[in-house]
Amino acid sequence: MGIIEKLRLDDKKALVTGGARGIGYSIALALAEAGADVALVDTDEKTALKSAEEIAAATGRKTLALKADVTQKADVDAMTAHTLAAFGRIDAAFCNAGICMNIPAEDMSLEEWNRVIAINLTGVFLTAQAAGKVMIAQGGGSIITTASMSAHIVNVPQPQCSYNASKAGVIQLTKSLAVEWALKNVRVNSISPGYIGTDLTLHSPALKPLIAQWKACSPLRRLGRPEELQAIAVYLAGDSSAFTTGADFIIDGAFTCV
């Protein structure tokens, strides 16, 4: 079997949180293009349904749109159960849902801090925990988390201490789960994107003024594109990465190197 065939995900079943748009949508599309059936989970059910229909039409794979708040264990358990009922198993889970608040530390309320930590870190734990239980029972699987280059550096000029802390936590959580589940054939890895040009980033009134500065600080002098994260996600979701677990893949155009 050649390398291209090894990278195929034919008939595998995947779940993607934050899958309605942006990085989550791009990864869900890539997984489907590689042959997987995919459940797109988001708080925006209408957009998730539209995205799921687009992916199904483009790839011919079975898709599912689910509404869930990853900070709520009942929602996470329900989305996992619905995916399992529809697909029969979960081979790959992409824990991607996240938010960022750019608020100076001295002005940040406890509620705002807790909101970021709840979605970005606790939500990843709950999703990975639920998917991990399924994978342990079925004999294996792959969990992928979205961390960030912000786990490795402090972004400037935007003040985002809660985001940076949450993403650093995601990496350590990923490593911890990888070690705990290594002998249970459940692999856990993280992807740490740099600045990616999603619709949210490119059209946010708060972020648009910063884009020129980000580009100037990047060795490649540009933002990344969501599709430039697809290959690593497909690799990690499939059997060709069987010896890869507990790793963090920084995809940032060398931003963290300077």
Establish whether 192 is a catalytic residue. no
Establish whether 148 is a catalytic residue. yes
Phi, psi of 103 (to 5 degrees): -135, 130
**What Å distances lie between residue 66 and 63, 92, 120, CA to CA?**
10, 16, 19
DSSP string spanning 147-200? --GGGTS--SSS--HHHHHHHHHHHHHHHHHHHHTGGGTEEEEEEEE-SB--HH
Instruction: Give CA–CA dist 227/64, Å, rounded.
Output: 21
Query: Of 25, 163, 195, 235, which one is the catalytic site residue?
Result: 163
Query: Of 13, 25, 167, 241, which one is the catalytic site residue?
Result: 167
Establish whether 167 is a catalytic residue. yes
The tokens describing 122, both together, are: 């606790």
Q: Are 83 and 141 in contact (CB under 8 A)?
A: no
Please list, in sequence order, all residues whose beta carbon lies within 8 angstroms of the beta carbon of residue 8, skipping any fewer than 6 positions away.
34, 35, 238
Place of tokens 């912000």: 150
Query: Of 51, 142, 148, 162, which one is the catalytic site residue?
Result: 148
Task: Give me the active site residues, please.
Answer: 148, 163, 167
